Structure 1
Amino acid sequence: MKERAVCILIETKDDYPSTWSAIKAIAPKIGCTPETLR
């Protein structure tokens, strides 16, 4: 799961104004909380 989350974050982080906003958007898609990804 960690590898998948990191890959998604790297691919999409430029679409968001900050890393944290990208994390908040991605977390529900992979079934975890933003704090888990942080």
Structure 2
Amino acid sequence: MASKKRKSYTPAYRREAARLVIDTGRPIAHVAREIGVGEQLLGR
């Protein structure tokens, strides 16, 4: 079975994703789905 390569996100990308959740007040799950990352990843 082939292993998937983990995506790495820059600190700037992480900050922007977190800002989307904080500034818009939308649930993490909605923002995560919208930007294409895992909900648990964004929750961190």
> How many residue pairs get matched?
31
Percentage identity across paired residues of the two chains = 26
TM-score normalised by length of structure 1 = 0.63
Between Structure 1 and Structure 2, which shows a larger proportion of helix residues? 1
Structure 1 stretches lacking a partner, 5+ long = 17-21
C-alpha RMSD of matched pairs (Å): 1.2
| Counterpart position of 2:16 | 4
In our comparison, the structure showing a higher alpha carbon Rg is: 2
5+ residue gaps, structure 2: 1-12
Alignment TM-score, normalising by the size of structure 2: 0.57
Moved over 4 A (4+): none
